[in-house]
Structure 1
């Protein structure tokens, strides 16, 4: 089946994505922490006058964390819907998805520290 490329279908798709982002921010405390960290890094970057390459690294790091958090939350919601009771394999899947967010966050902190510290020092 060919994808629907009509403008109305594309706008509808964007609407679903925005609803997902709102749900992510409302339902996940960690997403709100990521939002605060994102804003802090953006403000610091603007204050330090980063160049395009430095901004690219920070935007990549920020996007990596947000994508990991969104996928982790989606996995958790799907797992809970499919199997609400505790199950060892579902628990492992959730733990692994959470580990992905942790790895992304650690990487983002390292990138931000390298870029911002170099510029600050």
Structure 2
């Protein structure tokens, strides 16, 4: 699979996103929240700097959600039984998504305060 051309690599990546969208409710929820945030920021009329930060936060959350999903899938495939170490790994990945999500909420609140004053 190494050294594939760009079109193949792009196809692999899009297939991964498509799989997450079809099979992962957390990914769909994060996408919905991203759309809501985009609409809200549009309504606020924020400047380009705020848009740039928002897009980066959305990208980080969605990328981390994909990484979390891949870790869970690989761990479940390699060790389908419940195992304490694998549980820790999965919990750590979920925690990373949570940290980014909380940061996004804080960012939205601070942005709102900035534009409501």
| Shared fold per TM-score greater than 0.5 | yes
Partner residue of 2:9?
13
Structure 1 segments of 4+ aligned residues over 4 angstroms from their partners: none
Partner residue of 1:65?
61
CA deviations 1:61-111 (Å, max 9, x no partner) are 111211111110000000011111111100110011110111010011111
Partner residue of 1:30?
26
| Structure 2 runs not aligned, ≥5 long | none
Distance in 2 separating the partners of 1:117 and 1:44? 13
Distance in 2 separating the partners of 1:27 and 1:71? 14
Partner residue of 1:106?
102
Partner residue of 1:116?
112
CA deviations 1:33-61 (Å, max 9, x no partner) are 10110000111111222111111111121
Distance in 1 separating the partners of 2:35 and 2:72? 26
Asked whether 1:85 is paired with 2:95, we answer: no
Asked whether 1:52 is paired with 2:61, we answer: no
TM-score, normalised to structure 2's length? 0.91
Distance in 1 separating the partners of 2:35 and 2:112? 14
Distance in 2 separating the partners of 1:72 and 1:105? 13
Partner residue of 2:72?
76
Check the 8 A contact 1:44/1:116 in 2, yes or no. no
The number of residue pairs the alignment matches comes to 116
2:80 match: secondary structure: coil
Asked whether 1:40 is paired with 2:16, we answer: no
